[in-house]
C-alpha cells in the first residue's frame, strides 16, 4: 500500500519532470554545448570544440560596456522598485484596515498587468515622445522652450518601463512578509518608546527581509536578461546584455550568443547568491 | 498606529499610492483614448476628432503585420498552455503532498526556470530543435517554451493551496471507502477548483503575453505579441492603439469570466458543500 502511494507520486510528478527535462534542462545543456561550436554564414551550427566564442566575449570592450550599462539599469531599477514597493506594501499592510479594502486596492494594482506587455510599452510613446503629453505640458508651462529629447528612446524611458513592469513583483512578496508580522511586536515597539521610523527600520524591515530578497531576485533576474523593453523604449539607442544576445541571434550567430548567454547566466547566478545571503528564502516557499 | 486617528504617514503614503496607480494606468488610458482618434488622427495627442474608425479599420486588410493570423495562433496557444498548466500543476501539487525521491531537485529546477533569463531558455530550445533538425513552430517548441514560464507559477500556486488543505477531508473520504481516484474526483478537486481557475488565468495570460521565450522558439509564424513588437516600429496609424484597446478588453473579459467562475464555485460550495451542521438528513 505504501509502495503504491509513493508510486502514484512518481506518476503524478512525471509530466512536469518530462516537460522540464525536454524544454528546460536539455535546452540549457544545449546552450553550454553550442557555446563551443563553430559557425558560418550559411551554417548556423557546426559541431566543434572551440574557445573563441568565449575569447570574443571576454576580449571585447563592448562586453564590459554593455555589462556596465546593464548593471546600472539593474541598480537603478532595483533601488526604485524596492523603495516604491516597500512603501506601497507598507501602506496596504499597515494603513488599510479591512481585508476587503486591501483586496480591492491590490486588484487595482494588478489589473494593468493583465494587458499586453508590448501594448503597455508602446503606450509610453504618446506620453513621452517628442510631441507627447509630458513634453507638451513642459513646453506649455514654460519649463522648457523646446521638447525634451531624452524622455523617449533613452535610458530614462527604459528605466520608467522597468519600474512600470516590475514594481508589482516587489510589492507582492514584501506585502506577504508584512502580513505575517505579529502586530503585537509593533505595539511593543511603540510602548517601548520607538518612533514610527524606528519601528519601521528596526522591526518591520528586518522581518521583511525574505520578501525583499524574493522581490529583488525577481527584479534583478528580469532586468539582467531583458531585451524587449530595451528594444521598444530604448529604440536602438540603448544597449543591454540581453539585447546584445538578441542581436546576435537575429544575425543567426548562435554560438557567440550561447557563449554570451553562459556568461550572463553566471553573472545572474552570482547576483542571486549574493541576494540569498541576506535572507533564508527556502523558509518562505 | 493600528487604531485611532490617521497619522501623517498615512496621508503621505495615500498620495504616493494614488500617484502609483496613476502611473500604472496612465499608459493604458492613453492607448484607449488614442484608439478613438478621428480618421485623420495621428499617433499622438491632440485628438483629431473622435471616432470608431480605427476599431473598424483593424478588420480591413493591413499593409503590415499579420494581426489576425497571429491573434488566432496566440489564442490557440494560450488555450493549450492553459490546459496543460492546470493539469500538470494539479498533478504535481498532488505528488508534492507525498514524499518522493528527487522532489527537491525537481523543485529547484522549476524555480531555476522562473529566474533563468528568458532569452537563454529561448536560445536553448531554438538550438535543440535546430540540431535535431525538427522545424520550430508555435505549437511545438514555443508551446514547450511557454510551459517553462507558466508551470513555475502554477506549481507555486498549488503549493500555497495544498499548504492550507486539511488532509482530514481525504482521510474521511478514505474511511468512508472512497478509492484514491474517487477521493481526488469528489473531494480534492471540488475544494481546489477555484484555485485551479486562478492557475488557468495565469497560464493563459502569461502565455498570451509572452515574448522573450517565444522569440527563438516560435519558428516562421509569429504569435500576437511577437507580431506587435515587430510592427511597432513601422506602424504609423492609431490602428495599433485600437488593437491595444481590443486586447486589453479581452484580458479584462478573461479576468471577469474567471472571477465569475470562482464566485460560482464558492456559492456552490456554500450551498451544497457541507451539511455538517444540519443534523440528520
Q: Which domain holds residue B117?
A: 65-233
State the total domains in chain B.
Answer: 1
Q: Which residues of B touch A282 (CB under 8 A)?
A: none
B78, with CB counted inside 10 A (0-12, 13-18, 19+), is buried
Which CATH number is A81's domain given?
A: 1.10.3720.10
Question: B64 to each of A234, B43, B227, B230, how far by Cα in Å?
Answer: 22, 16, 10, 10
Q: Which residue has the cell 489589473?
A: A111
Cα–Cα distances in Å, from A122 out to A73, A109, A151? 20, 20, 14
Residue B43's pLDDT is what?
77
Mean pLDDT estimate for chain B: 86
In this structure, is residue A216 part of a structural domain? yes
pLDDT for res B280: 47
CA distances in angstroms from B158 to A103, A153, B98, B146, B147, listed in the order given? 20, 40, 14, 18, 15
A181 within some domain: yes
A37-41, A269-273, B165-169: segment of lowest average pLDDT: A37-41
- Please give the ipTM for the structure prediction: 0.86
Cα separation, A173 vs A207, in Å, equals 12
Here the cell at position B67 is 494581426
Q: DSSP string spanning A211-242?
A: HHHHHHHHHHHHHHH--HHHHHHHTTS---HH
Residues of B in contact with A92 (CB under 8 A): 17
Q: Which residues does A19 contact at the CB level (< 8 Å), separation at least 6? A: B84, B88, B144, B147, B148, B151
Give the C-alpha separation, B117 to A244, whole Å: 13
Give CA–CA dist A56/B143, Å, rounded: 33
Query: Could you tell me if residue B188 is inside a domain?
Result: yes
* Per-residue confidence band for A140, with pLDDT thresholds at 50, 70 and 90: confident
**DSSP type of residue B220:** S
- Structural domains in chain A (count): 1
Question: Which of the 8 DSSP states describes residue B228?
Answer: H
Residue A191 domain boundaries: 60-276
pLDDT tens profile B126-148: 999 988 989 999 999 999 999 99
Residue A174 domain-assigned?
yes
Q: What is the mean pLDDT of residues A201-222?
A: 91
| Residue B267: inside a domain | no
Residue B76 lies in a domain: yes
CB nearest to B120's CB, from A9, A31, A112:
A31
On whether residue A55 sits in a domain, the answer given is no
The predicted-structure confidence for B86-100, as pLDDT tens digits, reads as follows: 999 999 999 998 888
In a domain, A27, yes or no: no
> Nearest CA of chain A to the CA of B274: how many Å?
25
- Cβ contact, residue pair B92, A25, below 8 Å: no
Q: Chain A: residue nearest B35 by CA?
A: A123
The conformation of residue A138, written as its DSSP 8-state character, comes to H
pLDDT in tens, B179-214: 888 888 888 998 888 889 889 988 998 898 898 899
> Is residue B51 domain-resident?
no
**Predicted local confidence at residue B79, as pLDDT:** 95
Distance in angstroms (rounded) separating the CA atoms of residues A247 and A245? 5
Contacts of A258 in chain B (CB under 8 A): 123, 127
Question: How confident is the model at residue A20, as a pLDDT?
Answer: 96
Each residue of A162-208: pLDDT tens digit?
Answer: 999 999 999 999 998 999 899 999 999 989 988 888 999 999 999 99
The C-alpha cell of A216 is what?
529583488
* pLDDT one-digit tens code per residue, A94-117: 998 888 888 888 888 888 877 778
DSSP category for residue A147: -
- How many residue pairs from chains A and B have C-beta atoms closer than 8 A? 266
Find out whether the peptide bond into B46 is cis, omega within 30 degrees of 0: yes
What the block records as the C-alpha cell of B185 is 474526483
A236 part of a folded domain: yes
* Interval A232-263: pLDDT, tens: 888 877 889 999 999 888 888 889 999 999 99
CATH of the domain at B197: 1.10.3720.10
Residue B124 lies in a domain: yes
DSSP tag of A200: I
CA B49 vs. chain centroid, Å, equals: 36
Report if residue B11 sits inside a domain.
no
For residue B147, tell me if it sits in a domain. Answer: yes
Of the CA atoms within 13 Å of residue A156, those in its CB half-sphere come to 10
Distances (CA, A) of A167 to A159, A213, B5, B77: 11, 14, 30, 28
Amino acid at each position: 500500500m505504501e509502495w503504491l502511494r509513493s508510486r502514484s507520486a512518481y506518476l503524478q510528478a512525471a509530466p512536469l519532470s518530462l516537460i522540464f527535462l525536454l524544454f528546460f534542462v536539455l535546452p540549457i545543456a544545449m546552450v553550454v554545448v553550442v557555446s563551443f561550436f563553430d559557425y558560418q554564414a550559411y551554417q548556423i551550427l557546426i559541431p566543434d570544440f572551440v574557445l573563441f566564442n568565449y575569447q570574443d566575449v571576454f576580449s571585447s570592450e563592448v562586453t564590459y560596456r554593455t555589462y556596465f550599462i546593464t548593471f546600472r539599469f539593474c541598480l537603478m531599477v532595483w533601488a526604485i522598485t524596492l523603495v516604491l514597493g516597500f512603501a506601497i506594501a507598507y501602506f496596504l499592510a499597515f494603513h488599510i484596515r479591512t481585508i476587503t479594502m486591501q483586496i480591492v486596492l491590490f486588484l487595482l494594482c494588478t489589473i494593468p498587468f493583465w494587458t499586453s506587455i508590448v501594448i503597455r510599452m508602446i503606450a509610453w510613446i504618446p506620453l513621452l515622445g517628442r510631441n507627447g503629453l509630458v513634453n507638451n505640458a513642459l513646453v506649455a508651462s514654460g519649463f522648457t522652450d523646446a521638447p525634451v529629447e531624452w524622455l523617449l528612446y533613452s535610458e530614462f524611458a527604459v528605466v520608467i518601463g522597468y519600474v512600470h513592469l516590475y514594481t508589482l513583483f516587489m510589492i507582492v512578496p514584501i506585502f506577504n512578509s508584512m502580513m505575517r508580522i505579529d502586530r503585537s511586536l509593533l505595539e511593543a515597539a511603540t510602548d517601548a518608546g520607538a518612533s514610527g521610523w524606528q519601528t519601521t527600520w528596526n522591526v518591520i524591515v528586518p522581518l521583511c527581509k525574505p520578501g525583499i530578497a524574493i522581490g529583488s531576485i525577481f527584479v534583478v533576474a528580469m532586468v539582467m536578461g531583458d531585451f524587449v523593453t530595451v528594444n521598444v523604449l530604448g529604440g536602438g539607442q540603448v544597449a543591454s546584455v540581453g539585447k546584445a544576445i538578441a542581436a546576435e541571434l537575429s544575425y543567426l550567430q548562435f554560438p557567440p550568443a550561447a557563449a554570451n548567454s553562459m556568461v550572463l547566466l553566471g553573472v545572474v547566478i552570482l547576483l542571486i547568491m549574493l541576494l540569498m545571503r541576506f535572507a533564508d528564502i527556502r523558509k518562505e516557499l | 498606529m493600528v487604531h485611532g486617528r490617521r497619522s501623517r504617514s498615512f496621508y503621505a503614503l495615500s498620495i504616493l499610492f494614488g500617484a502609483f496607480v496613476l502611473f500604472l494606468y496612465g499608459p493604458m488610458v492613453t492607448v484607449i483614448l488614442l484608439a478613438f482618434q478621428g480618421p485623420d488622427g495621428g499617433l499622438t495627442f491632440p485628438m483629431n476628432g473622435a471616432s470608431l474608425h480605427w476599431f473598424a479599420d483593424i478588420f480591413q486588410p493591413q499593409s503590415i503585420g499579420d494581426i489576425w493570423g497571429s491573434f488566432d495562433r496566440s489564442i490557440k496557444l494560450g488555450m493549450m498552455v492553459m490546459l496543460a498548466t492546470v493539469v500538470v500543476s494539479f498533478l504535481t501539487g498532488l505528488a508534492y503532498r507525498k514524499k518522493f525521491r528527487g522532489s527537491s531537485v525537481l523543485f529547484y529546477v522549476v524555480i531555476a526556470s522562473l529566474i533563468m533569463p528568458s532569452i537563454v531558455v529561448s536560445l536553448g530550445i531554438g538550438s535543440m530543435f535546430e540540431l535535431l533538425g525538427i522545424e520550430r513552430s508555435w505549437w511545438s517548441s514555443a508551446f514547450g517554451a511557454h510551459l517553462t514560464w507558466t508551470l513555475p507559477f502554477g506549481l507555486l500556486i498549488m503549493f500555497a493551496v495544498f499548504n492550507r488543505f486539511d488532509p482530514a477531508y481525504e482521510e474521511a473520504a478514505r474511511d468512508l471507502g472512497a478509492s484514491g481516484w474517487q477521493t481526488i474526483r469528489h473531494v480534492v478537486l471540488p475544494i481546489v477548483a477555484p484555485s485551479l481557475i486562478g492557475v488557468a488565468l495565469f497560464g493563459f495570460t502569461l502565455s498570451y503575453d509572452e515574448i522573450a521565450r517565444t522569440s527563438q522558439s516560435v519558428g516562421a509564424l509569429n504569435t500576437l505579441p511577437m507580431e506587435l513588437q515587430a510592427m511597432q516600429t513601422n506602424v504609423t496609424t492609431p490602428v495599433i492603439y485600437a488593437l491595444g484597446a481590443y486586447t486589453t478588453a479581452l484580458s479584462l473579459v478573461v479576468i471577469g469570466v474567471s472571477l465569475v467562475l470562482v464566485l460560482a464555485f464558492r456559492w456552490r460550495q456554500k450551498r451544497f458543500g457541507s451539511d455538517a451542521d444540519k443534523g440528520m438528513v
